[in-house]
Structures are given as structure tokens and as C-alpha cells.
Chains A and B, each alone.
Chain A
Amino acid sequence: MVKLSIEHLSKRYWFEREDREVLAVNDVSLAVEDGEFLAIVGPSGCGKTTLLNIVAGLLPYEEGTVSIDGKRVDGPGVDRAVVFQHSSLLPWRTIAGNVRYGMEMQRRFDEATMRERADHFVKMVGLNGFEKHFPNELSGGMQQRVNLARALAADPKVLLMDEPFAALDAQTREFMQSELLKIWSQDRKTVLFITHQINEAVYLADRVAVMSARPGRLKGVFKIPFGRPRTLSLKRDPQFLEIEDSIWQLIEEESQKLNMVLAEK
């Protein structure tokens, strides 16, 4: 069953000052199945964040359709939750207070349920004992876990993640990847995960969609054949490396084309 469907979506930004427009997303069509983990990779500036923000309802769009469960997206909704690249936690709220924040804004749960859920998800991301701490007392990896707990606690149907681990060091990043898989395996939400690390996308996702450099169009979608649960040693599997390589080549090809176009000008 298709959960999230994107059809012929294009997005233009208009620059007032220069009186010209930039095509950020170019005719992207994509269907994400219920319970599927789909990753999008692409070079910097190819429109990944733009795409995710449109799905999140944070950006208006004119061309194409985005729908969840067949309902057109126009505005934020309780069926989605976003984990941003920058943890965007409220610095004056404790960890427990931050995990509650999404639920509080959405007003779907009563007080007791909110407290219970906040408790549950703080534990799920492994931060029990830190409930009364403030975000600035936590490491970057821990802050991103709070961010994830906040999103999960809001009980979304679709979880949107925009390079959530980009700011972390390599080691923490790997750790967070396997933590995310562990947490995700518990209730298998539909996930749209954006990254520019191919290796991260292949490790996490059921399918990897590759976007080309600007204007961002969809270059191809790779089905990742590995079963679950996956362990980090998978990243050294020959087949894994092969998939990584072919995605890499697709992006490489693209940037070469871009260079040629630039050279012609």
C-alpha cells in the first residue's frame, strides 16, 4: 500500500532581487510504501531539503501533487513528524520537556498520556536519567536522539528526516545509524530519510532514490536487497560495496555532465 506519493512535483524559488527563478526540484515522482524506509541521496544543493520541506507541509508548492494516504498535503499535519539536521531543541526546556513538545503542540493526547509517552520514548532512545538535563548539557549525538524521540512521541504515520546525523562525527554517526534501525524495527513507520552519504543510505534503507544536481530530478531508485536486522559489518559486504559503487557512479556521471555544460558556457 502506498503511504506517501509524490507525483510530478516541481518547485521554483523566485529571486526578487535578480528577477529570476531557480528550479530546485524538477518533476520528481516517487511512491513510498507503508512501513518502507526510503532514503534520498544527492549532491549538495540538489533540492533534498526543499523536497522534504514540501512533504512536511512547511513549503507551499504549485506544480505536482504530494499526498499521504491519498490526501493532498497542504500544510503541516499530525500524520507527519520531522527530525531536522540541526537538533532545533528548545534550549530552555529540559529533555523531558523537549520530547513532549511535539505532542503538546499537536494537542492529540491528554496530559497523562503525554507524560507516559515522553517517558517511554526517552527510554527508547536511551536517555533515561537525562530527563531533567538541558539540551546544552548533552552531546550532539544525544541531542539528535532527543530530536528523534520528540518526533516518535508525536506518533506520526510518516517520519521525515533531513540529514539528521550530518553534524555528528563518524563514530557517533555509525552508532546512531544502528540505534535508528533498532528503534525503527520496533514499529516500522514509513520513513523518508535524506542524506548525502551514500553508505548511510544503503545501510539504512529499503530503497535508495538518487537525485541529480540542480535542478534536482530523480535519476534512479535502487532496491536494497539486504534483510533485517542489519549489523554494521554489512558495510563491508562485497554486495553492499557494489551497490554503493553503482550509486556513486550515477552521481559522478551526473556531475561530469554538469561540468561539461559549465565548460560549454
Chain B
Amino acid sequence: MSKKKKSGRPHQSFYAKHEAVILGSLSIVIIIGIWQACWSAGMISPLFFSSPSAIVKQFRYTLVEGTLLADMKYSGTNFAIGFVLAVITGVIAGVLIGWYRRLRLFCDPFLNAFYATPRIAMVPLIIIWFGIGIWSKVFIVFLSAFFPILVNTVGGVRALDRDLLRAAKAYCASDWQIFKTLAIPGSVPFILTGIRQGVALGLIGMVVGEMVGSSQGVGFMVAYGGQTFNTDTLFVGMIVIAFSGILLTWLAERLERRFSRWRPER
């Protein structure tokens, strides 16, 4: 059986199998090549822009002699603490608010107000509260990631499939059994969507928090590079942030897909 399956598409060339990767890498290589060529030809002012070679050089420098590792560790710690707290509290609060109608009605105005306000607008206030140590950054990450996780979890718990609910009731299921066997498993894909959104928003919170009120971290590195017209450093910071974002989102997406295995439409 499995042999037959494999021979289903027998004459696939190396190119056909890896088309996406090959074309994707090709575009990156060409863009970097053109960029570097323009730079070498003196068409780009080093004040406003940087070059691949300068970025690599600066990356190596900050990594070996500068504070890149320390900055990454600092940012990573803030993000990790804030994010884990957001997942734990967001899921627990979301499940409770989704399940208990009265609690939901009670919390609704407050949630709507928070959800509609860009959390970034609260950064200065949070820095006044928590100072410029790590806890203001942790709290900003927490707040940024908390709401998407909460809102999605609430939606997931509430989106109880009516057919399944009817079946459970026909078999005399108690409220607690319905909660355990329908509401919780049914909300897992929603929670994971919330986590994926939380990753993206938490990362933004982390960078903004460090830009506004910090003397460490990758966000600070970008802000400081900008203030001192050190464009190369600025680019190193941006690229580190971009890659963390891509990596974390990719991880979250994989998790999401893995747990939604039983959902055919995903």
C-alpha cells in the first residue's frame, strides 16, 4: 500500500519537490545582492540605510563584544514571563467568563473597553506604576497577550456545538460533564488561535515597552541605534526582532495545526 502511494508521483524532480524553498531563497538572495551592489556603488547613504555586509559585521561585533546576547536574554525573559502569565490567566479567566453567563455580563463592559483601547496607549502609565525595571515590560507583554487569549477562549467555550450539546443531554450528561467533555475540548482550537495572536501582540508590547522605558533589551537597542544615528545597530535589532517573530508565530501555528487535527477544514 505505502509503496504504491510513494510511486504515485514518480518522476518528480528535485526542483519540483522543493519549488517553494528554491524560489523563496532565490528572491532573498537576489534582493540582498541588489542591495549590496547599490551600497557598494555608493548609491545609499550610510546615515539612512545600511548594507548586508555592514549588518553582518555589526551583528558579529555586538554579539561578540557588544551587548546583543545580554539584550536578547533580557527581552526574552520579559517576554517569556509576561506571555506565560497571559496564557495561564487568559485561559482560566476565559473559560470562567465563557461558561458563567452572569460573570460574562458582569465583565462585558470592562472587557469591551479594554479590548477596544490599544494597549500601547497604556505603556506610559504602566511605566509610572512599575518603574523602568523588568516588571513594567513584563506587564506590558502580559497585557498585550492577555486580551486576544481571553477573548478567543471565551468565544471557544461559548461556541458549544448545539448538536453535540443535545446528544450529551440525551445521555443525561451533567453540567460538569458537558463542561469537561464538550466546552473544554471544543475550545482548544480557539485558545490556540488566541495564543498565536497573543504571540504577535506580546512581541509588539515587548518592543514598545523597551523603546519607551528601558535601558536594555532588543527594543532599546533599536531605539538607541536610531537616536545615535547608528543605522547598522538599528538594523541588527530589527532583524533579531523579525526573526523572533517569525519563529514564535511559526511555532504557534504548528501547535495550532497539531491540535486541530480533527478539524477537517483547517
CA–CA, A81 and B264, complex, Å: 28
CA–CA, A135 and B169, complex, Å: 20
B262 touching A105, Cβ below 8 Å = no
Interface positions, chain B 146-185, Cβ under 8 Å from A, are: 161, 163-164, 166-173, 177, 181-182, 185
A58 touching B164, Cβ below 8 Å = no
Q: Inside 8 A of A105's CB, which chain B residues have their CB?
A: 168, 171-173, 177, 181
Cβ distance A99 to chain B, nearest Cβ, rounded Å = 12
Q: Inside 8 A of B173's CB, which chain A residues have their CB?
A: 105
Interface positions, chain A 90-137, Cβ under 8 Å from B, are: 90-92, 101-102, 104-106, 134-136
Tally of chain B residues near chain A (CB < 8 A): 21
Which chain A residue has the least Cβ–Cβ distance from B166? Answer: A58
Cβ distance A90 to chain B, nearest Cβ, rounded Å = 6
Q: Residue B261 at the A interface, CB < 8 A?
A: yes
Cβ distance B245 to chain A, nearest Cβ, rounded Å = 30
Q: Residue B102 at the A interface, CB < 8 A?
A: no
Interface positions, chain B 216-266, Cβ under 8 Å from A, are: 261-264
A154 touching B261, Cβ below 8 Å = no
CA–CA, A76 and B263, complex, Å: 29
Q: Inside 8 A of A80's CB, which chain B residues have their CB?
A: 170
B170 touching A56, Cβ below 8 Å = yes
Cβ distance A55 to chain B, nearest Cβ, rounded Å = 11
The verdict on A84 contacting B163 (CB below 8 Å), with A92-B185, A101-B181, A105-B177 known, is yes
Residue from the list A77, A82, A91, A135 in contact with B167, Cβ < 8 A: A82
CA–CA, A122 and B99, complex, Å: 33
B166 touching A77, Cβ below 8 Å = no
B172 touching A76, Cβ below 8 Å = yes
A-B CB pair tally, cutoff 8 Å: 56
Q: Inside 8 A of B262's CB, which chain A residues have their CB?
A: 91-92, 134-136
Q: Inside 8 A of A102's CB, which chain B residues have their CB?
A: 171
Q: Residue A12 at the B interface, CB < 8 A?
A: no
CA–CA, A172 and B63, complex, Å: 66
Residue from the list A86, A136, A154 in contact with B163, Cβ < 8 A: A86
The verdict on A136 contacting B167 (CB below 8 Å), with A90-B182, A101-B181 known, is no
Q: Residue A231 at the B interface, CB < 8 A?
A: no
A90 touching B181, Cβ below 8 Å = yes
Q: Residue A185 at the B interface, CB < 8 A?
A: no
A90 touching B172, Cβ below 8 Å = no
Cβ distance B158 to chain A, nearest Cβ, rounded Å = 17
B169 touching A106, Cβ below 8 Å = no
The verdict on A136 contacting B166 (CB below 8 Å), with A77-B172, A90-B185, A101-B181 known, is no
Q: Residue A88 at the B interface, CB < 8 A?
A: yes
A134 touching B261, Cβ below 8 Å = yes
Q: Residue A68 at the B interface, CB < 8 A?
A: no
Q: Inside 8 A of B169's CB, which chain A residues have their CB?
A: 58, 76
Q: Inside 8 A of A91's CB, which chain B residues have their CB?
A: 262-263
Q: Residue A221 at the B interface, CB < 8 A?
A: no
Which chain A residue has the least Cβ–Cβ distance from B263? Answer: A91
Q: Inside 8 A of A183's CB, which chain B residues have their CB?
A: none
Which chain B residue has the least Cβ–Cβ distance from A154? Answer: B171
Cβ distance A243 to chain B, nearest Cβ, rounded Å = 32
Per-position binary interface string of chain A over residues 68-86, scored 1 when its CB falls under 8 Å from any chain B CB and 0 otherwise: 0000000011101110101
Which chain B residue has the least Cβ–Cβ distance from A90? Answer: B164
CA–CA, A23 and B41, complex, Å: 85
Residue from the list B163, B171, B261 in contact with A101, Cβ < 8 A: B171
Q: Inside 8 A of A134's CB, which chain B residues have their CB?
A: 261-262
Cβ distance B169 to chain A, nearest Cβ, rounded Å = 6
Q: Inside 8 A of B177's CB, which chain A residues have their CB?
A: 104-105
Q: Inside 8 A of B164's CB, which chain A residues have their CB?
A: 88, 90
Cβ distance B165 to chain A, nearest Cβ, rounded Å = 9
CA–CA, A62 and B186, complex, Å: 34
A76 touching B163, Cβ below 8 Å = no
Q: Inside 8 A of A82's CB, which chain B residues have their CB?
A: 167, 170
Residue from the list B163, B166, B170 in contact with A81, Cβ < 8 A: B170
Q: Inside 8 A of A81's CB, which chain B residues have their CB?
A: 170-171
Could you list some 17 contacts between A and B, CB below 8 A? A57-B170, A58-B166, A58-B169, A76-B170, A76-B172, A90-B164, A90-B181, A90-B185, A92-B188, A101-B171, A102-B171, A104-B181, A105-B168, A105-B172, A105-B177, A134-B261, A136-B264
- What would 5 more interface pairs be, CB under 8 Å, given A56-B170, A77-B172, A134-B262? A78-B172, A82-B170, A92-B186, A92-B262, A136-B262
Chain A residues in the interface with B (C-beta under 8 A): 56-58, 76-78, 80-82, 84, 86, 88, 90-92, 101-102, 104-106, 134-136, 154
Chain B residues in the interface with A (C-beta under 8 A): 161, 163-164, 166-173, 177, 181-182, 185-186, 188, 261-264
6 nearest A-B residue pairs (beta carbon): A105-B171, A105-B173, A88-B163, A88-B167, A102-B171, A136-B264
